[in-house]
């Protein structure tokens, strides 16, 4: 074996990297376990503990902080951790209407409506559909007459063609989607969610948001659905505000002292007397300065929780949780820093600061034209936020300028100083006001700052150096390019309001998530154990090599998943289990080849070398075809489906490395040591040996069986249809855990009269857990529509004592509008068709005969139709759900990949035999090839089916339908590889094959 040294080096390097990446999860869990012990079950104490250590080094070897480790631990999806999933749709119709200045033209408004209707069923972007509809309705009119104005004269002229207007609208739509993404990302950062997942789908103008661990869905809906509010404010200087803060600090101290019992005061005084080296503060200012000297590194990353608050809390309540902004002067004394920032607080202390500043007695001493706002993000690499003093203007105490005056903003390069800056362009009205505002800000000796505020959070507060006329401003600072892009998008948020509304959501309770984790882990462990036992039992010592290779494969797979920040979901766990089957399949291919070489009388060393050599083409072809399926799933899927595809693709790569290289290294080592290597036991050495079943001769019987089954399925699809999951049918789905076992009839009796007779009720694993699907109020787009549906459901169930529930018993909620459901269905259909075409094209390239490609296409289409027919025929017969949803599509595509995996192995042997048996009847050659690979086909199918049975039995209710689709799909795929795909080659290529 060549290159053993390189392979060993790469394997060791990969192992070290994977171990390092996985260690973050172990360290983070250790800290969380310590927090659990400390808090004794109190969630507030646990949160406070974790927050206090977030910036402390908890990974001694490398000095990494807890927050650093948490950001790099294995991320769990919503189905494993609980939380909320939201799909936001950017309303391009409202954007186009705004860009037209609400034009009343009849053809224009009719084109908007027609485009909206077509967008539900057609896979085209909204702007293209709108222009197409307008040209139909008004073929002689120009869109430039509607959209060209003084604000966009640099981009559109009054004589611009419709294609130029279309390009302009698409550019504005892309900008609106991107800035909405930035605004939503900024809002999500305020939740403090660990590892939020935010994906922008530009093709559909959607933003997919996953918030693991969120327990306040109402707050999420409210925050995400609100329109962006961009404003400009003048600011106070820190030197002007400190005396006020000092006064507030004194008032709070006096209030606390008055409220405290005398004995507590004595204790406090005694405690202070015992503090070594503690001098009695003379003034509140001195006390604050003393505190600040200890907090001078706070902004650099130290948490205010690390202070000894016992020294200062009694006399300085405000400064105990908020550090004034100072610097050390030349005399070594703390001096107040100039600028609009008046304080620093750790994230856990911001709520306390807010409660102080918003209390009635404190508000009375704060000037009416002053308010305090936090920075939108913490200081880099810390959990410390900045507090700004904002000056309110006018009779209404509002901003000096609103964001709708901005025409454009973009990220630029600072030509003088280097680095990045933001160039902002205002309309004529805004430019005039901006000139006055900047003249006033720059007139003072200490240049004033203007705060850029988005949704009551300060995004930036640049100092104004000079009066700015003409409406063009440059904002510079210590920016990265990403910073300037984000700021530019924020500045444009006030000009192009393209509302983002929630069109789909899923709320998963942590209890359901824990059940899913337990079920997934159990199925993983059982699947691994069963496979390893089988391999050792069937292949003896060679089976032990396969066991080692599979274990290394799983280790590498998990390490790579963590290193690329992949999110592990239940379908992802199913992907890991499926990879076990793929890994075993590769080993089986090699071992069966080695056994064939040994049967020819070759020595064990030569047999091993030739076995790996001859199995390589089949292994590569089989795994590449499955990998292509994973690519298609990743490109066209979303959420958990992408997680499944990611796991599948990475698993195939690690499988090839371990099965072909690591296994080979182990065999080479065993051969060098002179160990006895066996590839079978007495009872397994002759399995399917000399098999001679008449598969080709009986092919018409197989055609007839498949044809009848598919025909019955097609009739059922037309007459009975499918049970569509919520992501295909639209509606609300609730998973509810009742106090006692209930029947579907009892639930129907309770809810049918309230939320309609179209509700679907199914048992969800156990008799006291039910899934309820309803399209009640699905077209209600009001902000509280979800609350109405939930309240109606709870009220309806309360009518019967047997079905009465509390809100906390709703384990999860998923909502998908009909619009997105129709698009998902269309996307799923084209994804399956594309997968079949891509795989068939690959087969054509590899085998260079269209008959092989046709056989692959027929087999994959055959498998898809068989699975679909099964799900329609038995949808109301089997005691578990047979829903058609995105997980089902993932299963179907995986089945296609697996079926091709099997088929390619047979095709490879047919190609080989056709070369060596040129004068033999092609029917006999193909039948011989099928029988020759039968041992491998059956053993692989058996191991994969065994894994899927375990997944189905122990994997949990969440993926029962998914695992069952895989199970029957693998059975059908094995059948088609043997009985359909190869015989098709005969019926379409007799002359060509000869």
Q: What is the pLDDT of residue 654?
A: 92
Q: What is the pLDDT of residue 525?
A: 81
My answer on whether 739 and 611 are in the same domain is: no
Q: Flag whether 212 is in a domain.
A: no
My answer on whether 861 and 989 are in the same domain is: yes
> To the nearest whole percent, how much of the chain has pLDDT over 90?
9
Q: Flag whether 99 is in a domain.
A: yes
Q: What is the pLDDT of residue 905?
A: 78
What average pLDDT score do residues 355-382 get? 87
Place of tokens 């033209």: 105
Q: Give the CATH number, domain containing residue 438.
A: 3.30.1360.200
> Lowest mean pLDDT: which of 283-292, 558-567, 950-959?
283-292
Q: What is the pLDDT of residue 715?
A: 94
pTM of the model: 0.68
Helix H or strand E segment including 58:
strand 57-59
Q: What is the pLDDT of residue 390?
A: 92
User: Which pairs count as long-range contacts for 357-360, CB under 8 Å and 24+ apart, including other chains?
Assistant: 357/248
Q: Work out the pLDDT band at 190, boundaries 50, 70, 90.
A: low
Q: Work out the pLDDT band at 12, boundaries 50, 70, 90.
A: very high
Strand, helix or coil at 90? strand
**Tokens (6 digits) for 813:** 């909620």
My answer on whether 859 and 899 are in the same domain is: yes
Q: Give 93-128 pLDDT, tens digit per residue.
A: 888 888 888 888 889 999 998 888 887 666 677 888
Q: What is the pLDDT of residue 832?
A: 76
What average pLDDT score do residues 738-756 get? 80
**CB hemisphere CA count around 865 (13 angstroms):** 18
**Helix pair 640-657, 886-916: axis angle to 10 deg:** 30
Q: Flag whether 202 is in a domain.
A: no
Number of neighbouring beta carbons within 10 Å of residue 917: 14
Q: Flag whether 438 is in a domain.
A: yes
| End-to-end Cα separation, the chain, in angstroms | 38
Question: Could you tell me the sign of the dihedral formed by the alpha carbons of 667, 672, 673, 675, in that order?
Answer: positive
Q: Give the CATH number, domain containing residue 741.
A: 3.30.70
Q: What is the pLDDT of residue 556?
A: 94
Residue 387 has pLDDT above 60, yes or no: yes
Residue-by-residue DSSP string for 958-978:
GGHHHHHHHHHHHHHHHHHII
- Rounded to the nearest 10°, the torsion over CA 665, 667, 672, 677 is 170
Query: How far apart are the C-alpha atoms of 312 and 307, rounded to whole Å?
Result: 9
Q: Give the CATH number, domain containing residue 623.
A: 1.20.1640.10
More confident residue, 934 or 300: 934
Q: Flag whether 227 is in a domain.
A: no
Residue 765 has pLDDT above 70, yes or no: no
Residue 16 has pLDDT above 90, yes or no: yes
Q: Give 515-548 pLDDT, tens digit per residue.
A: 767 777 787 788 778 878 888 888 888 889 988 9
Residue ending a domain, among 21, 41, 73, is 73
Q: Give 648-687 pLDDT, tens digit per residue.
A: 889 999 999 998 899 999 998 898 888 888 888 887 777 7
My answer on whether 866 and 944 are in the same domain is: yes
Residue 607 has what DSSP assignment?
A: H
My answer on whether 431 and 323 are in the same domain is: no
Residue 272: which residues within 8 A CB-CB, separation 6 or more?
Answer: 278, 310, 311, 314
Please tell me which of 170-184, 227-241, 975-989 the model is most confident about, judged by mean pLDDT: 227-241
My answer on whether 574 and 623 are in the same domain is: yes
Give the total number of structural domains in the chain.
6
My answer on whether 109 and 66 are in the same domain is: no
Query: How far apart are the C-alpha atoms of 655 and 250, rounded to whole Å?
Result: 67
What are the C-alpha distances in Å from 50 to residues 41, 303, 384, 827, 907?
14, 12, 15, 43, 58
Number of neighbouring beta carbons within 10 Å of residue 201: 13
Domain that holds residue 800: 731-815
Q: Give 303-340 pLDDT, tens digit per residue.
A: 444 445 555 566 788 888 888 888 887 777 788 888 89
Q: Work out the pLDDT band at 21, boundaries 50, 70, 90.
A: very high
Q: Give 560-605 pLDDT, tens digit per residue.
A: 989 988 877 767 776 777 787 778 888 888 888 888 888 888 989 9
Q: Give 63-88 pLDDT, tens digit per residue.
A: 888 888 888 888 777 767 777 778 88
My answer on whether 317 and 286 are in the same domain is: yes
Q: Give 660-670 pLDDT, tens digit per residue.
A: 899 999 998 89
Query: How far apart are the C-alpha atoms of 628 and 265, rounded to whole Å?
Result: 73
Residue 584: which residues within 8 A CB-CB, separation 6 or more?
Answer: 531, 535, 546, 550, 940, 943, 944
Residue 646 has pLDDT above 80, yes or no: yes
Q: Flag whether 332 is in a domain.
A: yes
Query: How far apart are the C-alpha atoms of 252 and 362, rounded to whole Å?
Result: 8
Q: Flag whether 321 is in a domain.
A: yes
Residue 275 has pLDDT above 50, yes or no: no
My answer on whether 549 and 603 are in the same domain is: yes
Residue ending a domain, among 815, 834, 869, is 815
My answer on whether 950 and 887 are in the same domain is: yes
What average pLDDT score do residues 988-993 get? 59
Residue-by-residue DSSP string for 396-455:
TTB-SEEGGGEEEEEEEE-TTT-SEEEEEEE-HHHHHHHHHHHHHHHHSSS--BEEEEET
Q: Flag whether 211 is in a domain.
A: no
**CB hemisphere CA count around 196 (13 angstroms):** 21
Q: What is the pLDDT of residue 909?
A: 81
My answer on whether 922 and 892 are in the same domain is: yes
**Tokens (6 digits) for 612:** 């790996």
Q: What is the pLDDT of residue 92?
A: 84
Residue 268 has pLDDT above 80, yes or no: no
Q: What is the pLDDT of residue 388?
A: 94
Residue ending a domain, among 137, 169, 197, is 197
Output the average pLDDT for the chain. 79
Q: Give 852-905 pLDDT, tens digit per residue.
A: 888 888 888 888 889 889 989 988 787 777 777 777 777 777 777 777 777 877
What average pLDDT score do residues 964-983 get? 85
Q: Give 795-842 pLDDT, tens digit per residue.
A: 888 888 888 888 878 887 777 665 555 666 666 677 778 877 887 888
My answer on whether 412 and 438 are in the same domain is: yes
What average pLDDT score do residues 169-192 get? 74
Instruction: Return left, alpha or beta for 48; rule: phi > 0 is left, psi -120 to 50 is alpha, else beta.
Output: alpha
């Amino acid at each position: 074996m060549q290159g053993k040294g390189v392979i060993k080096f790469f394997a060791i390097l990969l192992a070290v990297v994977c171990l390092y990446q996985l260690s973050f999860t172990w360290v983070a869990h250790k800290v969380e376990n310590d927090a659990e012990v400390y808090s004794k079950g109190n969630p507030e104490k646990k949160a406070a503990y974790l927050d206090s250590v977030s910036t402390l080094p908890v990974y001694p070897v490398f000095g990494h902080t807890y927050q650093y480790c948490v950001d790099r631990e294995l991320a769990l999806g919503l189905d494993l951790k609980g939380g909320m999933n939201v799909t936001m749709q950017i309303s391009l119709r409202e954007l186009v209407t705004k860009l037209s200045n609400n034009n009343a033209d009849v053809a224009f408004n009719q084109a908007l409506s027609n485009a909206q209707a077509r967008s539900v069923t057609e896979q085209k972007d909204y702007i293209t559909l709108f222009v197409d509809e307008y040209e139909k309705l008004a073929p002689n009119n120009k869109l430039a007459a509607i959209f060209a104005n003084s604000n966009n004269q640099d981009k559109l002229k009054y004589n611009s063609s419709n294609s130029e207007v279309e390009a302009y609208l698409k550019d504005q739509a892309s900008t609106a989607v991107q800035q909405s993404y930035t605004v939503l990302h900024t809002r999500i950062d305020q939740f403090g969610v660990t590892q939020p997942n935010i994906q922008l789908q530009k093709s559909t103008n959607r933003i997919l948001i996953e918030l693991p661990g969120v327990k306040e869905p109402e707050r999420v809906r409210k925050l995400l659905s609100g329109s962006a509010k961009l404003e400009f404010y003048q600011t106070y200087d820190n030197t002007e505000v400190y005396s006020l803060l000092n006064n507030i600090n004194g008032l709070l101290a006096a209030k606390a002292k008055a409220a405290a019992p005398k004995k507590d005061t004595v204790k406090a005084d005694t405690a202070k007397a015992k503090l070594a080296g503690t001098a009695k503060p003379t003034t509140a200012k001195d006390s604050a300065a003393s505190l600040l000297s200890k907090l001078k590194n706070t902004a650099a990353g130290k948490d205010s929780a690390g202070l000894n608050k016992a020294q200062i809390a009694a006399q300085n309540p405000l400064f105990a949780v908020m550090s004034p902004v100072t610097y050390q002067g030349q005399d070594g004394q703390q001096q107040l820093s100039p600028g609009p920032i008046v304080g620093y607080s750790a994230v856990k202390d911001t709520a306390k600061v807010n409660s102080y500043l918003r209390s009635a007695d404190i508000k009375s001493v704060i000037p009416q034209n002053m308010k305090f706002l936090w920075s939108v993000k913490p200081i880099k690499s810390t959990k410390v936020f900045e507090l700004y003093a904002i000056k309110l203007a006018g009779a209404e105490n509002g901003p000096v300028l609103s964001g709708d005056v901005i025409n454009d903003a973009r990220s630029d390069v600072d030509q003088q100083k280097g680095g990045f800056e933001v160039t902002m362009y205002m309309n004529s009205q805004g430019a005039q006001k901006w000139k006055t505002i900047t003249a006033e800000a720059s007139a003072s000796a200490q240049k004033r700052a203007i705060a850029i505020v988005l949704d009551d959070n300060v995004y930036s507060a640049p100092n104004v150096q000079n009066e700015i006329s003409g409406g063009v401003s440059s904002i510079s600072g210590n920016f990265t390019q990403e910073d300037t892009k984000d700021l530019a998008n924020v500045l444009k948020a006030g000009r192009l309001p393209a509302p983002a509304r929630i069109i789909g959501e899923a709320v998963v309770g942590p209890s359901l998530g824990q059940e899913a984790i337990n079920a997934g882990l159990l199925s993983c462990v059982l699947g691994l154990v069963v496979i390893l036992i089988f391999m050792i039992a069937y292949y003896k010592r060679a089976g032990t090599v396969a066991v080692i290779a599979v274990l290394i494969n799983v280790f590498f797979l998990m390490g790579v998943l963590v290193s690329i920040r992949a999110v592990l979901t239940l379908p992802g766990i199913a992907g890991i289990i499926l990879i076990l089957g793929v890994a075993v399949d590769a080993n089986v291919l090699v071992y069966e080849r080695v056994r064939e070489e040994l049967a020819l009388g070759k020595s064990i060393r030569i047999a091993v070398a030739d076995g790996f050599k001859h199995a390589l083409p089949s292994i590569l072809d089989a795994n590449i075809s499955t990998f292509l399926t994973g690519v298609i799933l990743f490109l066209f899927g979303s959420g958990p489906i992408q997680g499944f595809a990611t796991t599948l693709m990475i698993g195939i790569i690690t499988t090839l490395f371990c099965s072909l290289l690591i296994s080979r290294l182990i065999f080479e080592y065993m051969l060098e040591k002179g160990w006895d290597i066996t590839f079978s036991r007495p009872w397994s050495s002759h399995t399917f040996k000399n098999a001679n079943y008449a598969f080709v001769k009986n092919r018409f019987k197989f055609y007839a069986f498949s044809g009848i089954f598919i025909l019955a399925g097609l009739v059922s699809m037309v007459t009975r249809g499918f049970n569509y999951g919520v992501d295909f049918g639209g509606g609300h789905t609730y998973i509810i855990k009742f106090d006692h076992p209930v029947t579907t009839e009892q639930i129907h009796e309770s809810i049918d009269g309230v939320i309609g007779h179209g509700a679907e009720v199914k048992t969800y694993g156990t008799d006291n857990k039910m899934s309820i699907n309803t399209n009640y109020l699905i077209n209600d787009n009001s902000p509280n529509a979800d609350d109405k549906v939930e309240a109606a459901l709870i009220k309806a169930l309360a009518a019967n004592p047997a079905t009465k529930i509390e809100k906390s018993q709703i384990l999860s909620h998923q909502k998908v509008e009909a619009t997105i459901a129709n698009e998902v269905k269309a996307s799923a259909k084209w994804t399956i068709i594309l997968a079949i075409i891509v795989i068939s094209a690959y087969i054509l390239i590899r085998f260079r005969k269209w008959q092989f490609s046709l056989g692959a296409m027929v087999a994959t289409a055959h498998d898809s139709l068989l699975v679909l027919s099964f799900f329609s025929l038995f949808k109301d017969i089997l005691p578990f759900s047979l829903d058609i949803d995105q997980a089902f599509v993932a299963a179907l595509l995986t089945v296609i990949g697996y079926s091709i995996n099997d088929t390619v192995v047979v095709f490879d042997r047919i190609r080989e035999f056709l070369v060596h048996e040129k004068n033999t009847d092609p029917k006999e050659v193909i039948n011989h090839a099928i029988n020759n690979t039968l041992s491998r086909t059956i053993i692989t199918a058996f191991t994969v089916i065994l894994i899927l049975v375990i997944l189905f039995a122990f994997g949990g209710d969440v993926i029962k339908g998914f695992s069952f689709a895989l199970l029957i799909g693998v059975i059908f795929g094995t059948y088609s590889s043997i009985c359909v795909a190869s015989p098709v080659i005969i019926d379409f290529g007799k002359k060509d094959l000869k």
